[in-house]
Amino acid sequence: MERIDKILALHNYGSRKEVGGLIRSGAVTVNGAPVKKPDLKIDPERDEVRVSGERAVLRRRVVLMMHKPAGVLSATRDGKGETVLDLLPPELYRRGLFPAGRLDKDTTGLLILTDDGDLAHRMLAPKSHVYKLYEARLDKPASPEDAEAFARGLQAGELECLPAELTFTGDPLTVRVRVREGKFHQVKRMFHAVGKEVTALKRLSIGKLQLDPLLAPGEARLLTAAEEALIFE
């Protein structure tokens, strides 16, 4: 059970304060009856909530897409610096959210934040075969031999890498890599193993889910159920 003001704020009906005003004004009904108390506890997926007569589709769990900017940690709040959770506006923030898979502090791009541990597990387990696509800027051009080494599955120091796909763009210093693992500094270590250094790294997609080009760095939004399914396609 969740407070109705909290759950409505989470679903972008306004800040907690604005939602409180909405509730007190009588615009919100639960199972047909007007509610006046912002702290009323409801079951967001069972109770029928209407705002100004419109059915509100509410979820118990939250899955967000963020465009992670450089310079923030993919961690929950820990006092060691700004984290991706600090970037969330109050209406999207909720206790229990965590980044499903980490990007390095200087890595940018698609990051999923959720409070659903099962979803995170399914996304991250190598046996789920969820591929992540990165765009890497390198200090030297990658070669076709590098692509072959990536495809075979290379040994990056102690890290034994599963086969990965390296593709070229029009720019000799910019390449794309598709990997299905997410070990610490995975992509940077793979390039290091073939004598190149990554100077910038951006995650473009997870499975078939692409970073929304309308999200500016630092912005986040709720993921739709259809988008969530794209992760596993």
Specify whether 47 is catalytic.
Answer: no
Stretch that binds ligand URA, among 1-9, 78-86, 100-108, 205-213 (CB under 6 A): 100-108
Q: Indicate which single residue of 59, 61, 76, 104 sits in contact with ligand URA (rule: CB under 6 A).
A: 104
Q: Indicate which single residue of 3, 61, 185, 208 sits in contact with ligand URA (rule: CB under 6 A).
A: 185
Whole-number Å distance between alpha carbons of 221 and 67: 9
The helix-helix angle for 144-152 and 186-193 (nearest 10°) equals 120
Q: Among 30, 33, 35, which Cα is nearest to 20's?
A: 35
Q: Indicate which single residue of 188, 220, 228, 231 sits in contact with ligand URA (rule: CB under 6 A).
A: 188
201 binds ligand URA (CB under 6 A): yes
| Beta strand pairing call for 198-206 and 108-114 | parallel
Residue of 43, 47, 104, 212 marked active site? 104
Helical (H) or strand (E) element with 89 = none
* Residue found by looking up tokens 């963020």 in the block: 66
68 binds ligand URA (CB under 6 A): no
Q: Provide the minimum distance between the beta carbon of 184 and ligand URA in the complex, in angstroms, as a whole number.
A: 8
| Residues carrying an active site annotation | 104
